[in-house]
Structure 1
Amino acid sequence: MSRRQPREGGTSRRQPPPPPRGARTQRTRSSSRFRGWLRHHRAMCLDSARRLLRTPIGSLLTMLAIAIALVLPAALWLALDSARLLDAELEESATLTVYLEHQVDEGQAGRIDEAVAAHEGVARTRLISAAEGMAEFQQALGLADALGRLEDNPLPASIVVVPVDPAPEAVRRLAGELEALSGIDEVRLDLAWLERLRHLAELGSRLALALAVLFGLGVLLVVGNTIRLAVESRRQEIEVVMLIGATHAFVRRPFLYSGAWYGLGGGLLAWGLLALGNQWLALPVSALAASYGATFTLPQLGPEGSATLLLCSTLLGWLGAWIAVSRHLAEVRPR
């Protein structure tokens, strides 16, 4: 007599029905096609690299032409980065000079300084008395004897103001608000040099963008011409594989990898040339900055800049190959 297994919760457990045989077959075919697609990509990637290594001189010259086309806009962009860093330092040093009225004594000057420092647009202040101003003026001009003969000090007390926002518009607005305070005679600011620097930086940015576009087109032409010659040299092979049913994507794949290798190699060479140029110019630039009593170092391509350079060069090589192959595959007809 057979024993029945106890039921859990009073209900019997049923196994889910197996998937239909057609669905399993379809999933197996899709997985097999995907693995075959990956194997072909890997094979074409390695084969295109080996073909470039078989002609090292020609491949190196092509990559060098790409590198030269990439170095110029990249170097200009680095120069603009250094100008932006200098612009930021100059903005931080932007100050206002508030001149007090001549009849203001030291006590009143201290109260005016407190009122100016309490303004929401002021970061910090430094009060310069009339005596301190005269001492600095004598030291700067070297006329201590001549100025010491004056009976009265003609210089008023002043306050050096560092604004919170160094933008020219905000500084002008702050100057107008401070000039309205009692006891202040004049507020002076000189932002013409800062505006000129900003205009030059904007001009340089547009120039760098224009050069990047022009030299990017040059990279496309170099890679496209190289890939066109490769397509012509393998024309019979292409006609054979197209006769047995190969698609344009299948035929295009090895040339796209060749273009990507050209672009990556050109990007690496451009990165090396930029690093060498930076090392070559670092010492003269540091010496020039030291002669003006400043410290300045040339900006370098960091990890993000290097990755951007290599990615752009690889994409340009791939795009140039794609344009060239797509154009010439339309002209190839199996015989």
Structure 2
Amino acid sequence: MSREATRPAPRGAHTQRSRSGSRLRAWGRHHRAMCLDSARRLIRFPVGSLLTMLAIAIALVLPAALWLALDSARLLDAELGESATLTAYLEPHVGDAQATRIEEAIAAQQAVARTRLITAAEGMAEFQQALGLADALGRLDDNPLPASVVVMPLDPAPEAVRELAGELEGLAGVEEVRLDLAWLERLRHLAELGHRVALALGVLFGLGVLLVVGNTIRLAVESRRQEIEVVMLIGATHAFVRRPFLYSGAWYGLGGGLFAWGLLALGSEWLAAPVSALGASYGAAYQLPRLGGEGSAILLLCSTLLGWLGAWIAVSRHLSQVRPR
């Protein structure tokens, strides 16, 4: 082994690494100290801090509630999509045995999830029960209703259902295929409109959170203007001065998110009973959606980031106007 390989590293390299480690530890200690100090400042003025957090919570509740409503509508859309069925009416001369073979041919299609055969006799029985005309229809010599096959498509999208209907009409023994997609298309258009409205409101109320936090941090900067000028005179950077205010904004945002989460939980509990009763009156077991773990984490993360961003904008704007004297 050569001497160069065994020669120890220069002393300057060790010194450089130790200095870098010291700066990193000092940076971490300052972050920790500013985080705790900003929390103590908020606790020192509880009324003002709570009012600011409550204003942030009110700005977050409406878009979060719309988000839950749209998520509920998405689940409802999926359930209703399962009822997007086609009815293939067979030719009048088709008997029960041939109708069974046609049903098997339809069920073999790749785009078909499941099928149900309704024979001519079963169709007449359902028709009599629905109209309450069993005596009058029972006097008919022949059954005028054809056999039919109810088809559940794999993909409830209107385009896929129309394509499947065209394929089924080409099968032997199928006279007509009927489908009603108007309600499904209206539901999808309403869902798209709801998503855009929720996005617009989320952006607007997010800007409201930025304004609330920015105005609060602006007042905090003005109240500590002399302190800021002093630390800047002794060489403090803008990042050093900005740090405690950024933590204050993050605390405001986190507190506002917690308040919003609590308001949403209370609102869900308050409305749960009447909404369930309304759904039961229509024969549906419907319950109000809840945030859950993932939704709660997203809400708190967004509120904290909005608070941090609002503080950063406010502090950066005012630090550019501060001139040490």
Q: Matches of 2:141 and 2:192 in 1, distance apart?
A: 51
Q: Deviations over 1:126-181 (max 9, x none)?
A: 11111100101111111112211222211111111111222111111111111111
| SS of match in other structure, 1:98 | strand
Whether 1:139 aligns to 2:158 is no
Q: Matches of 1:13 and 1:222 in 2, distance apart?
A: 66
Q: Paired residue for 2:206, among 213, 216, 229?
A: 216
Partner of 1:241: 231
Partner of 1:96: 86
Q: Deviations over 1:195-232 (max 9, x none)?
A: 11000000000000000000000000000000000001
Partner of 1:33: 23
Partner of 1:6: none
Q: CA deviation at 1:93?
A: 2.0
Percent of aligned pairs with the same residue?
A: 83
Q: Paired residue for 1:277, among 262, 267, 275?
A: 267
Q: Matches of 2:3 and 2:322 in 1, distance apart?
A: 63
Q: Which moved more, 1:283-292 or 1:15-24?
A: 15-24
Structure 1 or 2, whichever has the larger Rg, is: 1
Q: Matches of 1:117 and 1:84 in 2, distance apart?
A: 28
Q: Deviations over 1:282-332 (max 9, x none)?
A: 111111111111111111112111111111100100010011111111111
Whether 1:183 aligns to 2:173 is yes
Match runs of 1:1-335 below 5 Å? 16-335=6-325
Q: CA deviation at 1:24?
A: 0.7
Q: CA deviation at 1:70?
A: 0.4
Q: Which moved more, 1:217-226 or 1:90-99?
A: 90-99
Q: Matches of 1:12 and 1:286 in 2, distance apart?
A: 83
Q: Matches of 1:178 and 1:15 in 2, distance apart?
A: 80
The 4+ residue runs of structure 1 with deviation greater than 6 A are 11-15
| SS of match in other structure, 1:151 | coil
**TM-score, normalised with respect to structure 1:** 0.94
Gaps of 5+ in 2: none
Q: Read off the aligned partner of 2:35 and give its amino acid letter.
A: C
Gaps of 5+ in 1: 1-10
Q: Read off the aligned partner of 2:28 and give its amino acid letter.
A: L
**TM-score, normalised with respect to structure 2:** 0.97
Q: CA deviation at 1:281?
A: 1.1
Q: CA RMSD in A?
A: 1.4
Q: CA deviation at 1:270?
A: 0.4
Q: Deviations over 1:37-65 (max 9, x none)?
A: 11111111000000000100000000000
Q: Read off the aligned partner of 1:178 and give its amino acid letter.
A: L
Q: CA deviation at 1:15?
A: 7.9
Q: Matches of 1:330 and 1:122 in 2, distance apart?
A: 66
Q: CA deviation at 1:118?
A: 1.8
Q: CA deviation at 1:17?
A: 2.2
Q: Which moved more, 1:99-108 or 1:170-179?
A: 99-108
Q: Matches of 1:75 and 1:32 in 2, distance apart?
A: 47
Q: Matches of 2:257 and 2:52 in 1, distance apart?
A: 12
